[in-house]
A and B are shown apart, each in its own frame.
Chain A
Amino acid sequence: MVNLILYGTESSPPVRAVLLTLRALQLDHEFHTLDMQAGDHLKPDMLNKNPQHTVPMLEDGESCIWDSHAIIGYLVNKYAQSDELYPKDALKRAVVDQRLHFETGVLFHGIFKQLQRALFQENATEVPKDRLAELKDAYALLEQFLAENPYVAGPQLTIADFSIVATVSTLHLSYCPVDATKYPKLSAWLARISALPFYEEDNLRGARLLADKIRSKLPKQFDKLWQKAFEDIKSGAGKQ
């Protein structure tokens, strides 16, 4: 009997990476919402479970596991019927691992968290240009990852797609829409992942919540860009 409890908040990109993985593996779980602004994650009980006090945190029976990438790797290793989502082949796994660390180091900590800090802690009135340039470099690199394959780590859907889409979909709806003419492969990949059953519930809803919060803090000139991005999504531009 599987007894999984996921702690977090659905606006958090790494939490959504875990939700996408749980869905793909058809694993039942309980979801415990943590109110981060109220400091739920810093309460003694939670600190005991995860001293790094990050979300997501997964409880599997007696065990507590955190860091979204560690969690999604664990879930496939333990519960999947095949290794498709996280290949056992050493070379294929190294590609997935590299993509996961790219998400951690470049997309999440290097770009997303720094943008959030500028906007919500330093009350910046515009998006820092150097960060935006880094984000475009990251999009360009993803475009290369997708040059010959439909998924970020090769011909098959893997946990690297779940991890990266959770962050990129948020960035796409907030700081920097993915321009389908500049990044046709990345744009098509976003559309491909968006077509997964329950994608809206598992990722898009939370991404929108977070993006709305970000957009309410951003200057108005971004509105045109978003309008274009949303039209692209509606019209299916960028789909192959």
Chain B
Amino acid sequence: MVKLTLYGVNPSPPVRAVKLTLAALQLPYEFVNVNISGQEQLSPDYLKKNPEHTVPTLEDDGHFIWDSHAIIAYLVSKYADSDALYPRDLLQRAVVDQRLHFETGVVFANGIKAITKPLFFNGLTRIPKERYDAIVEIYDFVETFLAGHNYIAGDQLTIADFSLISSTTSLVAFVEIDRVKYPRIIEWVRRLEKLPYYEEANAKGARELETILKSTNFTFAT
């Protein structure tokens, strides 16, 4: 009997990436809300689970795994009936891995965290222009990756889609996706929205984050 516990908060993009994966694999789990504003992630109890004190953290049979990308790869490797979501073919896998690291570095660290950290922790609501440019560059790359393919790492849905849709649908809180310039991104988001678990696993949390971000009244410097 699988007993999985996911520690996190719904607005967090990487938490949503894990929720999408759990839903796709039809794995039941307990969701434990971490009180980030109360700094629960810095409590001795949480630090024992995850010394990097990030969310999400997954608990599986007494083991603690963190970093959303490591978690979603682990879940497919351990629990999936097929390798479709994380192909064993080495070249296909290398593409998925590249997309996952693109999400970690270019999208999440350089696109989202570089804005939200100064915004939430230092109250810097005037966002430097280069942060805007960084998001536009992300959209350019994502549009390029989708050329000739329905999904971000090829012709089938993979964990790279779950990872990148969770952050892309939150970048829109900062910069709208231009429908003319990025038709493939628009189509790709629509395609993923049709997944039966999408609303619960991603859309709801993305809306929550957008509300929080907009309530800061941030502006971009020009």
Write the residues of chain A forming the contact surface with B, with a CB cutoff of 8 angstroms. Answer: 51-52, 63, 65-67, 69-71, 73-74, 77-78, 90-91, 93-95, 97-98, 100-102, 104-106, 108-110, 113-114, 141, 144-145
Q: Is the CB of B67 within 8 A of A98?
A: yes
Q: Is the CB of A113 within 8 A of B110?
A: yes
| For the complex of A and B, 7 pairs with smallest distance between CB atoms | A97-B70, A70-B97, A109-B105, A109-B109, A67-B98, A98-B67, A70-B98
Nearest opposing residue in chain B for A63, CB measure? B91
CA distance A95 to B50 in the complex (A): 12
Q: Does B28 contact A (CB under 8 A)?
A: no
| Known pairs A90-B74, A105-B109, A141-B52; A73 contacts B104 (CB<8 A) | no
CA distance A105 to B101 in the complex (A): 8
CA distance A98 to B110 in the complex (A): 18
Q: Is the CB of B101 within 8 A of A51?
A: no
Nearest opposing residue in chain B for A65, CB measure? B94
Q: Does B127 contact A (CB under 8 A)?
A: no
| Known pairs A90-B78, A104-B105; A51 contacts B141 (CB<8 A) | yes
Q: Is the CB of B52 within 8 A of A102?
A: yes
Q: Does B145 contact A (CB under 8 A)?
A: yes
- SS class, residues of chain B in contact with chain A: helix
Pick from B73, B90, B105 the residue with the most CB of A within 10 Å.
Answer: B105
Partner of A94, one of B74, B97, B100, B145: B74
- SS class, residues of chain A in contact with chain B: helix
Partner of B101, one of A63, A70, A93, A94: A70
Say which size band chain B's interface belongs to: 20 to 34
Render B89-108 as a binary contact track against A, CB cut-off 8 A, 1 for contact: 01101110110111011101
| Known pairs A91-B74, A102-B67; A110 contacts B109 (CB<8 A) | yes
Which residues on the B side are within 8 Å of A51 (C-beta)?
141, 144-145
Excluding A70-B101, A113-B110, 8 further A-B contacts by CB distance (< 8 Å) are A52-B141, A65-B95, A70-B95, A73-B94, A78-B90, A91-B65, A97-B67, A141-B51
CA distance A59 to B63 in the complex (A): 37
Q: Does B162 contact A (CB under 8 A)?
A: no
Q: Is the CB of A65 within 8 A of B110?
A: no
Render B58-79 as a binary contact track against A, CB cut-off 8 A, 1 for contact: 0000010111011101100110
Q: Does B113 contact A (CB under 8 A)?
A: yes
Question: Could you name 30 residue pairs across A and B whose Cβ atoms are closer than 8 Å?
Answer: A51-B145, A63-B91, A67-B97, A67-B98, A67-B101, A69-B97, A69-B101, A70-B101, A71-B94, A74-B94, A77-B93, A90-B74, A93-B73, A94-B70, A94-B74, A95-B70, A97-B70, A97-B73, A98-B65, A98-B67, A100-B101, A101-B104, A104-B104, A104-B105, A104-B109, A109-B105, A109-B106, A109-B109, A110-B113, A114-B114
Which residues on the B side are within 8 Å of A71 (C-beta)?
94
A148 to chain B, nearest CB (A): 12
Question: Restricting to B183-212, which residues have a CB under 8 Å from any CB of A?
Answer: none
Partner of A91, one of B52, B63, B105, B106: B63
Question: Restricting to B33-75, which residues have a CB under 8 Å from any CB of A?
Answer: 51-52, 63, 65-67, 69-71, 73-74
A80 to chain B, nearest CB (A): 12
Which residues on the A side are within 8 Å of B93 (C-beta)?
73-74, 77
B107 to chain A, nearest CB (A): 10
B118 to chain A, nearest CB (A): 9
CA distance A69 to B100 in the complex (A): 10
Which residues on the A side are within 8 Å of B98 (C-beta)?
52, 65-67, 70
CA distance A2 to B97 in the complex (A): 22
Q: Is the CB of B141 within 8 A of A70?
A: no
Which residues on the B side are within 8 Å of A65 (C-beta)?
91, 94-95, 98
CA distance A113 to B114 in the complex (A): 12
